[in-house]
Amino acid sequence: MASALLKKPAVQALLGRVLASYLTLVRRTSRIVIDPPRVYEDKVRPDLPVIVAMWHGQHLMVPFGRPDWMQASSLVSRHGDGEINAIVLRHLGIEAIRGSGAHGRKVRQKGGAGAFFAMVRALERGRTMVLTADVPKVARVVGPGIVKLAQVSGRPIFPVAVTASRRFEAKRSWDRTTMGLPFGRCAIVVGEAIHVAREADAADLEAARQAVERGLDDAHRRAFALVGRDDPAAHLIEPNRALASSRRLAAEASGS
């Protein structure tokens, strides 16, 4: 019953508006620290438009890191709670592009190919693209999509982490989704830019993929240290990356 109710457009519109209002309240009542302090003015703004990389589970917090002067679009899943997320983003001034990352043959059915070219066009229009770097169900492992987007568009990737000292944690979710609570401390950490050459070969793309992982790991360590809390998904890193590495080796061995 609840699942069917959540699929109704009117209910989705209401929930999206309420959640956007709540997140606005959290942002306005939080003490926000940006690390480095002038990173937007000194590094991000001169490179606009850019690609902002985040981990899954932070999609409710990363909008806090968008300055008012930054036009931004974000990749949002076509299914599940994607429609509600898209409504939330629109209320927060962020354009939603529908589609999601996937493995192998699932890319087409999830709208990945069309979404990829929509993201390229958004960057060409001067809009910063915000997207999760990890593929669904494999948290904290950077997929190839965000690096390929940087190669095709020629735009740099900035790893970003946003967290709060007071927050709700979905401890049973695969990505450990978090959402800030009002009247706490909030840390926004922006890592160093990662550039991918248009002529990059497979080895270069893999090196860039690993650089994005390191950048996001470092940004998250700094962000959680700033608010004095532990990263709820830190324990997923080692096993998920070991599994992803074994899958890549198996794929290379089979020639696929």
Those residues whose C-beta lies under 8 Å from the C-beta of residue 64, and which sit 6 or more positions away, are 23, 26, 27, 30, 32, 162, 180, 186, 188
Task: Report residue 15: phi and psi, to 5°.
Answer: -65, -40
Q: What is the pLDDT of residues 130-180, one digit of tens each?
A: 999 998 889 999 999 999 999 999 999 999 999 999 999 988 888 899 999
Task: Report residue 29: phi and psi, to 5°.
Answer: -100, 0
- Look at 130 and 252; give whichever has higher pLDDT: 130
> Which is nearest to 43 in space by CA: 147, 179, 160, 213?
160
**What DSSP line would sit under 50-79, residue for residue?**
-EEEE-TT-TTTGGGG--TT--EEEEE-SS
Q: How far is CA 179 from CA 57, 150, 243, in A?
A: 9, 28, 28
Give the pairing of strands 31-35 and 185-190.
Answer: parallel
Q: Does 106 score more than 60 pLDDT?
A: no
Mean pLDDT of the 77-81 span: 74
b/e per residue 171-193 (b: at least 16 CB within 10 A): eeeebbbbbbeeebbbbbbbbbb
Q: What is the pLDDT of residues 27-58, one digit of tens each?
A: 999 999 999 999 999 999 999 999 999 999 88
Average confidence score pLDDT of the chain: 91
pLDDT for 1 equals 54
* Domains of the chain listed by start with CATH number: 2-254 (3.40.1130)
Tokens of 240: 């998920």
pTM score over 0.85: yes
Mean pLDDT of the 118-137 span: 95
Q: How far apart are CA 115 and CA 245, in angstroms?
A: 26
At residue 34, the 3 state secondary structure works out as: strand
